[in-house]
């Protein structure tokens, strides 16, 4: 029995995660000190991203959030809804964000990610993107073993 891939966009799996800042938008019931988190993006498309945080986010799916990171010298700030949380063990905080972008922003993000994928395949050094160092990745539980 096969399952159809329902993704609308090319997804880029990153062997070296991108460092990002996650900001929870709105949600007045959350204390402002808990609205900003470090994040490590492990895969991304123009439709969404999967990322880790060093500590759990508030326990509510559907939170509106923004990921801010550098990619090819551009500061990107896609936002959307947290649609999945995986917390199987302490120190393993994995989330998925479904972007809520208009057609122009989605197209721009898709173009940037396509250029990024091409550069990654050529293995061109990219200091203009916010890749995590192994030391920075050590904050994110499961990532520390992958980059060691």
The pLDDT averaged over each successive group of 10 residues in the chain (148 residues) is 60 91 78 76 95 84 90 94 83 88 94 92 77 84 58
Residues 2 and 11: their CA atoms lie apart, in Å, by 20
pLDDT computed for residue 40 by the predictor: 93
**Which residues have CB under 8 Å from 65's CB, separation 6+?**
22, 23, 24, 25, 79, 80, 81, 82, 97
pTM over 0.75: yes
pLDDT computed for residue 5 by the predictor: 53
Which bin fits 105, alpha (ψ -120 to 50), beta or left (φ > 0)?
A: alpha
Within 10 angstroms of residue 128's Cβ, the number of other Cβ atoms is 11
pLDDT computed for residue 1 by the predictor: 40
5 token code pair: 């891939």
Of 17, 16, 49, 51, whose CA–CA distance to 37 is shortest?
A: 51
Q: Where are the domains of the chain?
A: 12-142
pLDDT computed for residue 4 by the predictor: 53
94 token code pair: 């994995």
Of 125, 18, 1, whose CA–CA distance to 76 is shortest?
A: 18
pLDDT computed for residue 6 by the predictor: 59
pLDDT computed for residue 43 by the predictor: 94
- For domain 12-142, the question of CATH label 2.40.10.220 is answered with yes
Residues 70 and 136: their CA atoms lie apart, in Å, by 16
Residue 67 burial (C-beta neighbours within 10 Å; 0-12, 13-18, 19+): buried
């Amino acid at each position: 029995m096969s399952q159809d891939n329902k993704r609308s966009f090319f997804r880029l799996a990153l062997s070296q995660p991108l460092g990002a800042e996650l900001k929870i938008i709105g949600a007045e019931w959350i204390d402002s000190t808990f609205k900003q988190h470090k994040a490590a993006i492990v895969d991304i498309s123009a439709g969404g991203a999967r990322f880790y945080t060093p500590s759990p986010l508030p326990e509510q799916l559907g939170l509106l959030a923004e990921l801010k990171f550098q990619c090819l010298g551009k500061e990107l700030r896609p936002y959307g809804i947290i649609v999945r949380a995986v917390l199987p063990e302490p120190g393993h905080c994995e989330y998925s964000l479904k972007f809520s972008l208009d057609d122009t922003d989605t197209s721009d993000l898709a173009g940037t990610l396509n250029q990024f994928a091409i550069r990654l395949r050529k293995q061109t050094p990219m200091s203009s993107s916010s890749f995590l160092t192994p030391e920075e990745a050590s904050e994110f539980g499961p990532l520390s073993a992958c980059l060691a």
